[in-house]
A and B are shown apart, each in its own frame.
Chain A
Amino acid sequence: MNSHILNFYTTPIVDEIGVKERVARLNSRSVKKQSKMAALHLALSMIDLTTLEGMDTPGKVIQLCQKAKYLHAPFSDLPMVAAICVYPTLVKTAKQELEGTAIAVASVATGFPSGQTDLQSRLAEITYAIEEGADEVDMVISRGKFLAGEYESVFEEIARAKEICGKVHLKVILETAELTTLDQVRRASEIAISAGADFIKTSTGKAKTGATQPVTLVMLETIRDHHLKTGEKIGMKPAGGISDSKTAIRYLVMVKETLGVEWLTPKLFRFGASSLANDVLMQIAKQKGGAYQSADYFSKG
């Protein structure tokens, strides 16, 4: 029976230098021509177009949904982005606007971005978001509790959130910038996965730094180890600061090399980003037309 009791005090430690070297080695891969075009299309289909500002209005969200539906009129063969990511009060607006499309609506919840409020109201926020029509929920963990070593209570909050979500996709935001070390990232990832997360996500986009490649690699390796142990497939979502195609392609290379092609799908990998889509579109246009592009000719996100 003992082997079933999870002990988060003894999660594997991470070789930080090794991770950085591996990232550097993967970054030296050259992706050109057809492979680049395929990667750009794939990246586009994995984007969660995001707007999470205090000044968001229904009008802004409608604009973003229009962007999602009509990425760039001159190209007919573009994939859809995966989802729109908004605050809970704007879920209904997004849902109405995206009716009839395959684009999902994701809502942040649980006291985003800090998570510093009591568990009941955080869970109530999830219920509210789902009632409003959210297909996916992006929750934040209590970093304060995590850093204080209260791993059970972090596990508990994620498990209860998943209970409420049921079939709704639950993405767990670790806010890795606040976890300080890669060891902690590994530990938080294991807690989130074993508590029932469908996706683990790096950042809120509100901290000093967003997603970084080393952090993402550690999280991908946690997902891989979990898959080898149980056969379950957990998704990954780096978010915050990924704004150009080159970086996006580097992330895709990491995913492919760590988890294999099965993970190269929007079902298991997403980018949380607001300006990445336009950069990818500009790169696709560059590949097709030859000339360097200008943001003037692409709709605002």
Chain B
Amino acid sequence: MNNRLNIAKTYKLYIDGKFVRSESGRFEALQINEDSVVVNICRASRKDFRNAVSSSRKAVDGWWARTAYNRSQILYRIAETMDGRKEQFLEELQCCGMKTKAAEKEFETAVDRFVYYAGWADKFQQLFSTVNPVSSSHFNFSLPENQGVIAIMAPISSPLTGLVSLIAPAICAGNTVVCLTSGNASLAGITLAEALHASDVPAGVVNLLTGIESELAPHFASHLDVNGIVYGGSDSHISKQIEVDAAENLKRVKIFLNGDWSDEAIHSPYDILQHCEIKTTWHPIGT
């Protein structure tokens, strides 16, 4: 006979390297299986988002100042840490309705994505840098640098692979991110935050919020201190409004409506370039 009581986990937001409840005190109940087990998940407010952005902003310079090799090591470390928590991830993916096989594929693809981008972290700059011909006595070269703070709205359909496919290229390029996961996807999302927390990822490089997409999208898109926004959801009204609001400060917008996240073709070094600014330098010859 087992008299031990279940210990229900509190799923909290991940802001500035800390697990916190929403400042609004709001939460949503999620029924995660047929036995009516209910989990309470924080419902982030616009102020939580604001706090997350200031944390990401603070973290940008330090993250970019690290060597590309070190960013690579940390991305690989995330894959290692995730792999050690396989059981937990699988359980949570099944909670949101995935079959065992599908959950396993989802998990493995997600881990592989981190390995993939870990490999690219110290290579993409040389690949995308160019020496440009100019008609004066200058060396002229262009190279990609980080953009800053990227806001990410992750898909519900692919709780782990979708989220990782959006986070990994952005932080690989030396950016910091604020992500939103919604609905059932929040469980695996927050567990990913725990893996990140245990993987030498500096505070603020990834901030993870759980909440309602339609409520937070206008704030994600209009915040003037956000440099780029990626929408991975499935609502074309929201994606359109994001494009309109993002125009205010010329955020770079990338929309994946109903993307197939398990597809190998979805990851590529061009996704890293998407999150870069190109800097061109003119250097006089022979002086």
Mark A residues whose CB is within 8 Å of B: 290-297
Chain A interface, >50% SS class: loop
- Contacting A at CB under 8 A, from B222-280, are 222-225, 248-249
- Bound CA span A230–B224, Å: 51
A-B contact pairs, 16 of them (CB 8 A): A290-B222, A291-B222, A291-B248, A292-B50, A292-B53, A292-B222, A292-B223, A292-B224, A292-B225, A293-B224, A293-B225, A294-B224, A294-B249, A295-B225, A296-B224, A297-B224
The answer to whether B197 has its CB under 8 Å from any CB of chain A is: no
Q: Is the CB of B219 within 8 A of A292?
A: yes
Q: Assuming A293-B225, A294-B249, what are 8 further A-B pairs, CB within 8 angstroms?
A: A291-B223, A291-B224, A291-B248, A292-B222, A292-B223, A293-B224, A294-B224, A297-B224
| Closest Cβ–Cβ distance, residue A53 to chain B (whole Å) | 21
Closest to B46 in A: A292
A293 surroundings in chain B (CB, below 8 A)? 224-225
A294 surroundings in chain B (CB, below 8 A)? 223-225, 249
Report which residue of A292, A295, A297 has the largest number of chain B beta carbons within 10 angstroms of its beta carbon: A292
- Bound CA span A291–B251, Å: 14
- Bound CA span A293–B50, Å: 10
- Contacting A at CB under 8 A, from B136-195, are none
B249 surroundings in chain A (CB, below 8 A)? 294
A290 surroundings in chain B (CB, below 8 A)? 222
- Bound CA span A292–B47, Å: 10
- Bound CA span A292–B223, Å: 5
| Closest Cβ–Cβ distance, residue A281 to chain B (whole Å) | 13
B25-53, CB under 8 A of A: which get 1 and which 0? 00000000000000000000000001001
Closest to A293 in B: B224
A295 surroundings in chain B (CB, below 8 A)? 225
| Closest Cβ–Cβ distance, residue A284 to chain B (whole Å) | 14
B53 surroundings in chain A (CB, below 8 A)? 292
- Bound CA span A291–B53, Å: 13
- Bound CA span A296–B223, Å: 12
Closest to B149 in A: A294
Closest 5 CB pairs of A and B: A294-B225, A294-B224, A291-B222, A292-B223, A293-B224
A296 surroundings in chain B (CB, below 8 A)? 224-225
| Closest Cβ–Cβ distance, residue A279 to chain B (whole Å) | 11
- Bound CA span A295–B224, Å: 9
- Bound CA span A293–B222, Å: 9
A291 surroundings in chain B (CB, below 8 A)? 222-224, 248
| Closest Cβ–Cβ distance, residue A251 to chain B (whole Å) | 21
| Closest Cβ–Cβ distance, residue A58 to chain B (whole Å) | 29
- Bound CA span A158–B222, Å: 52
- Bound CA span A294–B248, Å: 12
- Bound CA span A75–B166, Å: 38
| Closest Cβ–Cβ distance, residue B244 to chain A (whole Å) | 13
- Bound CA span A180–B248, Å: 49
- Bound CA span A293–B249, Å: 10
- Bound CA span A203–B222, Å: 38
- Bound CA span A160–B219, Å: 57
Report which residue of B53, B222, B225, B248 has the largest number of chain A beta carbons within 10 angstroms of its beta carbon: B225
| Closest Cβ–Cβ distance, residue B217 to chain A (whole Å) | 13
- Bound CA span A296–B60, Å: 14
B223 surroundings in chain A (CB, below 8 A)? 291-292, 294
- Bound CA span A258–B219, Å: 38
| Closest Cβ–Cβ distance, residue A276 to chain B (whole Å) | 16
Closest to A291 in B: B222
| Closest Cβ–Cβ distance, residue B151 to chain A (whole Å) | 11
| Closest Cβ–Cβ distance, residue B38 to chain A (whole Å) | 32
| Closest Cβ–Cβ distance, residue B24 to chain A (whole Å) | 14
- Bound CA span A74–B135, Å: 41
B224 surroundings in chain A (CB, below 8 A)? 291-294, 296-297
Closest to A295 in B: B225
Closest to B225 in A: A294
Closest to B54 in A: A292
B248 surroundings in chain A (CB, below 8 A)? 291
A292 surroundings in chain B (CB, below 8 A)? 50, 53, 219, 222-225
| Closest Cβ–Cβ distance, residue A43 to chain B (whole Å) | 20
- Bound CA span A294–B50, Å: 11
- Bound CA span A293–B224, Å: 5
Closest to B219 in A: A292
| Closest Cβ–Cβ distance, residue A298 to chain B (whole Å) | 10
| Closest Cβ–Cβ distance, residue B146 to chain A (whole Å) | 15
- Bound CA span A149–B228, Å: 60
A297 surroundings in chain B (CB, below 8 A)? 224
- Bound CA span A291–B222, Å: 6
B219 surroundings in chain A (CB, below 8 A)? 292
Closest to A285 in B: B224
- Bound CA span A291–B245, Å: 10
- Contacting A at CB under 8 A, from B197-225, are 219, 222-225
- Bound CA span A158–B91, Å: 71
- Bound CA span A291–B249, Å: 11
| Closest Cβ–Cβ distance, residue A74 to chain B (whole Å) | 13
- Bound CA span A138–B48, Å: 40
- Bound CA span A292–B245, Å: 12
- Bound CA span A293–B248, Å: 11
| Closest Cβ–Cβ distance, residue B182 to chain A (whole Å) | 21
B222 surroundings in chain A (CB, below 8 A)? 290-292
- Bound CA span A38–B84, Å: 54
